[in-house]
Every structure is written in C-alpha cells, then in structure tokens.
Structure 1
Amino acid sequence: MTQDYISPVPVEPSAQEPRRFVFVLLNEFTLFAVATATECLRVANRMSGKQLYSWASTAESLEPVVSSAGIAFPVDIPFDEVTRDDTLIVCGGLNIQSNSTAKTMGWLRKISRQGVKIGSLCAGAHALAKAGLLDGHRATIHWENQDGFIEDFPEIQLTRSVFAIDRNRFTAAGGTASIDLMLRMIADDHGTGLSNAVADQFIYSSIRTDQDFQRLSTPTRMGVRHPRLGQVIDLMEANIEEPVSPSELAESVGMSTRQLERLFRRYLDRSPKRYYMELRLGRARNLLMQTDMSIINVAIACGFSSPSHFSKCYRTHYGITPYRERGSMGSSGS
C-alpha cells in the first residue's frame, strides 16, 4: 500500500513549537465542536509536514467523560499535569450549570493565575464565566445559550459573533465555529497559507472571522424575503421584556396595523400578536432550561404581567406548565 504524499505548506516560525492544546472535558460536552477543533490541529501538522501541535484531554476525574452524543471519551492527563505553557479549551454542552462543578471551577481559577491561555467551545463559556475568568473580556456562546448567559452574567460583554478573542481569553460558539476559531489560531501562529490549506482539506470554502454573526439574518433564516417583515421581527426580538404594541410595530415600518396583520398572515400564517407570543415563550423556555431564575422572574423577563398569565400561555403553547417543565427536564444548554 502506498502512502499519499502532500507537499508541505511553508509555515511561519513560532516561538512555541509544538504548541499543546489541552481540552478540558465537562460531562455531556458537545462532540462535534471538540472533534472539529482537534481535526484542525491534526491536519495542520499533516499539511506542514511538521509536529506544530499536540493535544490532550483532561477532566476532574480520570474516568472516561461521556459526551452529549453518549460516547465515552478517555482522559489523557490529570489536572496537575497541565502546565502554564499549555493552551486550555473548556468544552461544554448539555446541562452546563450542573456540569460546571466546583472542583473544575476551582482548578480553572488556580491555573489561570499562572497566565495560561484559556478558552472555550460551545457552552463552555458559561463555565469560564462562572469561574470569573471572563470578567472584563468580550465573549461569545452558542446562540441557544445566550439568553441564560445574559441573565446570569450581565456584566460580561457578550457578542453574537462566531468566536471572540480578547487577550488571553477566547470563546467559540460551537458547531462549525470551532473550525473558524482554530483556523484563526493556526493563521496567527504560522500564517494564513497554512490555515487556508487546512480549510481546503475540510472543503471549507468560507472562513469566518470574529466579525461574522452566528445566525443568518431573520429573513434568510425564515425563508421570508420581505424587508419590512424582517424589520418588525428584529424589533420584536429586541423587545421581549417590554413588548411593543402592534400599532407601534406597524408605525415603525411605515404601514397600518391592518397591513401588518396581512403581511404576517401571508408569510407566516399567523397574526403578529401570536408570533410575538411564540417568541416570548421561546425565550422563557430557554431561561427555564438554562438558568436558576425563579418562575416569577422568568415571566417578568419575557414580558408577562403575572405568573398565572405566563403559566396559562406556556401550557397552552407547550402542553405543560413552566413548573413541570423545569421539574421534568432540568436546566440544559446546547
């Protein structure tokens, strides 16, 4: 059997060769985000013809850590074998609050005092914030976790971008954003020639930067190309705690309330009032699943005048009360 040969891509020299990434695996971490990040490092080595990177996994126990896909992963090294020269990536996923344990938070605080570069993938940003390691830094997290993050850590500057790098902290939203983050790091270490070669190997033709947003625009996401409808939906999403009246929404885009009603019926098969209610209830469900906020505070944060009204609307939409929802499913993340 012949081994394929790839002409090495010239790389810019780095002060730290090889650079070791240590993936801190939290229980129920998102498998896809971790797999793509490590694959970027592997392919960078292959395309350069050099051992530019190495990687290892760690966790608070040497027992295998179970990912969100139910696959158990072995742990390579214990916490005390991580050094100040390593780059740490905290990998989170489901049930991020309960999986951000006191032992892991304490260790992260301890090692951060050594000046270690620390980042996160997916919901791992919640663990970094909980440990106090994102104070004064820009950060991002998967869009599904953003509502809960903002409520829990209002002092942290959260962005909607696919990844954020701020001094010795970095965060990626998860999913394919892990690829964009690692490509940026490879480019910073060894030049864009190598990062582009890695992207080509992945057939990844559109590399995003920290200026790109996670989600598609509202019209594109919904398959609706009417510009004024998109503007109204954006306004609704920006005003969940204090809902805007249909007449004000209509006036904001230069149409009558009746015209706005027809627009929603035509494109979304529902009234503006119903669509707005669904947005608010969706936000409420995220907060119930991702935070420890009381039911009353969730209701207030989503624009409901009373817990009873909130409970009635929630049950009508989801077929279960907020109390039973939280009790049966617990809090989870993406």
Structure 2
Amino acid sequence: MLPFTAAIEPLRLANRASGEQLYSWRLVGTAGEAATCSNGSRILVDHGLEADFQAGRDDVIIICGGTDVAREARRPVLNWLRRQARSGAAMGAVCTGAWVLAEAGLLDNRKATIHWENHDGFAEAFPDIDLFRTVFVQDGNRLTAAGGTSSIDLVLHLVASAHGDALAAEVADQMLHTVIRTDQDRQRLSIPTRIGVRHPRLAAVITRMEANLEEPISPAQLAADAGMSTRQLERLFRRYLNRSPKRYYMETRLARARNLLMQTELSIIEIALAAGFSSPSHFSKCYRAQYGSTPYRERGTGAPSAAKSERIPDPDAD
C-alpha cells in the first residue's frame, strides 16, 4: 500500500499546488470491484482488465506489485500490458511490479530496478535486464521504482521534468519529504547504519563480502586487503557483531540463498552455487542449522510456482 499511495499523492498535490488539473488517474484491477492490499485494506478500482480502455502516448501505466508477485503474472495481465505498450504509453512499475513488466517482455534489454529483497531472484530470472539497486530508474519510456517511498521520488522526477523543479519541490514540501532522491541514490541504508556500527574497516570488509557471495573470499584475504591481520579482523567482528567473520559471511550467503529459494524456481544445486556452496549437502546442512528446515522442505511449502516459468508468449506478436 505504501508504494501505491506514494505514487498517487504527489499527483494530487501537484494539481493542488498548481491550481490546475495537471494530472488525472484511474485504478485498474485484475478482478472484481476492489483490490485487497497486503495489510488487509481494500481499494475500489475504476474498472477491470476487460474494460474497453486503450492508453495513449501521453499516458503512463504503472503496475504495483506486492508479495508473491510472480503468481500474479498471468496471461490476461501480461496481454493487457502488452496491448497498452503498443499504443506508445510509458510503462512503469513500483515495488515488485517490475517482475510483471519483465514477464510481459516490456523490460527486455532495458535498465530497471526492483525492491532489494527481490533483486537476486529477479536477476536470476531475467538476466538480460540491466538491473540497478537505485531507488528508481528511467530508461526511455520505461519507469521502475524500488518500492516504499521511492514512488514519491519517481513521481516527483516526472513532475519536475514536465512542470519544473519548483513545483516538484513544493509538492515534496507538502509531503514533508525533505530530500528528493535521484536515480543515482541507493535503496538501502549504508552498511554502518544497517549494522549500527561506524567503523570504516568493518564496513569495507562487509561491503566486499556482500559483493562476493557466489565466490567467497577467505578471511585471511579479506583481512590482508583491509590492511590488518586475520586475528585483528576476528577481534573486530567479535567486538562489534558478536560473531566471527566466517559466521557473518555464512549468514549473509544463506540469506541470499533463502531469497532465491523463495523467489525463483532455480534448482537447489543452482541456488547453492549462487550462494557460494560447492556441495548441495553442505548447503542443506548449513541452511538447516540457520533456519531450522532444509531447503528442499522449505521449497515444498513456500516457493512461488511460477517464479521462473517460460514467458507466456504475446499472441498478437508477429
């Protein structure tokens, strides 16, 4: 609900601040008269996919996705989006909606972003899309925002482009949005903020760990590259994070594996390799120790059924 409302409110406030009807919008749902948000709220929609509606070149279609988004990438939704795109309308997505645009083939060979929690699964499922970790991305008439309040930044970017920075700033001020982020700003908090520790060497080591999950770097090499001994690195992690570097690295790799397990249909072996495990049995043992269940058992109860299916073809394509 947050990225959904954060995409609409700047439009309302732009109309109010300008004294003109600069923007109008309508809500389209996949079924029925309302859409149910993940928090249980129900939002009335103006019409469904079956309505006789065709976007124009000046329109922007924005799809908002939530949890288990791959299951929502059904043929009627994909065909509707392709039909709107053929009119020349800009196609956008907020939060996990980028997954549905990708399934429809509307992000092929484009730059895009998606919520950081879905980044790894998206990258594995759609390797030809140039994926970024920024709050939003514009690539021609394709627009994607990562979720949460990033919708505000994307829409303010559109307002500024069409009507000037002053109006965008006034809208941001009304929303108490004190910093308008750009397409260069990263989604996640800095590592020092995330771990609650401001130690430059520790942050540098963790940054290297997160950038090398598929091919882990030894603690000795991490220490040497950071200009310290292995023992010093060990003491640093024990002091600030109450765990060894090896343990922290393992937990980070397993977190990536769990994301892939829940978001894709990659095999257990492929997931193990993507998380830096050469042996599926070792991966399963470590995973069970961390999460209390084996990857096989968890895949059986919680994996999306269509996360990496063959793309549904466009029936109207030549």
Q: Return the TM-score normalized by structure 2.
A: 0.92
| 1:189 Cα deviation after fit | 1.3
Count of residue pairs brought into register by the alignment: 303
**Pairwise CA RMSD:** 1.4
1:195 matched residue in structure 2:
168
1:141 matched residue in structure 2:
114
2:6 matched residue in structure 1:
36
Q: Distance in 1 between matches of 2:204 and 2:37?
A: 39
| 1:284 Cα deviation after fit | 0.5
Map 1:249-264 to 2 at 5 A: 249-264=222-237
Map 1:1-334 to 2 at 5 A: 31-79=1-49, 80-84=52-56, 85-331=58-304
Q: Distance in 2 between matches of 1:257 and 1:325?
A: 36
Aligned residue identity for 2:275: C
Q: Give SS of 1:121's match.
A: strand
Aligned residue identity for 1:318: Y
Query: For residues 276-316 of structure 1, what are the alpha-carbon distances to aligned partners after superposition, in whole Å with 9 as ceiling and x for unaligned?
Result: 00000000010011111111111111111221111111111
Query: For residues 183-224 of structure 1, what are the alpha-carbon distances to aligned partners after superposition, in whole Å with 9 as ceiling and x for unaligned?
Result: 111111111111111111111111101111111221222121
1:16 matched residue in structure 2:
none
Q: Distance in 2 between matches of 1:75 and 1:288?
A: 33
Structure 2: state its 5+ residue gaps. 308-318
Q: Distance in 2 between matches of 1:255 and 1:247?
A: 9
| 1:62 Cα deviation after fit | 3.5
Query: For residues 124-173 of structure 1, what are the alpha-carbon distances to aligned partners after superposition, in whole Å with 9 as ceiling and x for unaligned?
Result: 01111111111121111111110101111111111111001111100000
Structure 1: state its 5+ residue gaps. 1-30
Aligned residue identity for 1:66: T
Q: Distance in 2 between matches of 1:282 and 1:160?
A: 17
Q: Distance in 2 between matches of 1:83 and 1:153?
A: 26
2:313 matched residue in structure 1:
none
Q: Distance in 1 between matches of 2:218 and 2:278?
A: 15
Aligned residue identity for 1:142: H
Aligned residue identity for 1:115: G
Query: For residues 252-291 of structure 1, what are the alpha-carbon distances to aligned partners after superposition, in whole Å with 9 as ceiling and x for unaligned?
Result: 1111111110110011110000000000000001001111
Q: Distance in 2 between matches of 1:74 and 1:288?
A: 34
Q: Distance in 1 between matches of 2:193 and 2:227?
A: 22
Moved more, 228-237 or 61-70: 61-70
1:7 matched residue in structure 2:
none
Moved more, 96-105 or 53-62: 53-62
Aligned residue identity for 2:251: E
